[in-house]
Chains A and B, each alone.
Chain A
């Protein structure tokens, strides 16, 4: 079965410092990977995706993610964190086995950026 894991429930970082939110995946075949962000009382917003091509994917709000096939990881990164980046972040993989396009989400990681 396809799945993603986010090993950290919470990540704390100081404003201006680089941040990393970790994600590992387990799929059969080629992975289609996504990052979404959820602000309080809001729906999920798309940040970026990896389908194929460059291992470094750039997305919205200055975020990027690095795809590493050998480590089956897709970590979310940002060079300089902002307090406004504080939110809940979800990694997801497309369920290619069912061919419905549905996404399977990780448990989420709360990012707390302190001034």
Chain B
């Protein structure tokens, strides 16, 4: 168990809908990273937050947004969902920047 908790584990929804994925980092970890894993794209970095502030954006669509709250948990919001958004979404945390990442078990999103 990495100590990173992601909910829900599975999410099935329809095109055009909006969902929120939640991540609770390991106790005391200030950095939260979001990744998307799909068969064709592999593991793609989406966004990084450090102590509540956005630090970096990767291949994140405009329909997607994220935030990190004062208690350090993070949420990834996906809107106007398309079939191609179906993927496994991982959250990872680390104590500080440039420390190794600890991954959650992921949220499997299926858009039908």
Contact = CB atoms under 8 A, between A and B. Distances in A.
B25 interface: no
A103 B37 CA distance: 14
- Which among B43, B58, B94, B99 has the greatest number of chain A C-beta atoms within 10 A? B43
Chain A contact patch, size range = 20 to 34
Interface string A41-76: 111111001000000000000000000000000000
A36 B31 CA distance: 19
B48 A100 contact: yes
Given A43-B4, A44-B90, A100-B97, A107 B56 contact: no
Contact of A46 (B100, B104, B106): B100
A103 B99 CA distance: 10
Contacts, number: 57
Contact of A98 (B4, B56, B104): B56
Interface of B is mostly: strand
A86 to B, nearest CB: 18
Interface in A59-115: 90, 94, 98-108
A103 to B, nearest CB: 6
A102 B45 contact: yes
Given A43-B90, A46-B100, A46-B101, A107 B42 contact: yes
Interface of A: 32, 34, 36, 41-46, 49, 90, 94, 98-108
30 contacts: A42-B105, A43-B2, A43-B4, A43-B90, A43-B103, A44-B90, A44-B92, A44-B101, A46-B100, A46-B101, A46-B102, A49-B100, A99-B97, A100-B48, A100-B50, A100-B56, A101-B33, A101-B48, A101-B97, A101-B98, A101-B99, A102-B33, A102-B45, A102-B56, A103-B45, A103-B101, A105-B42, A106-B42, A108-B42, A108-B43
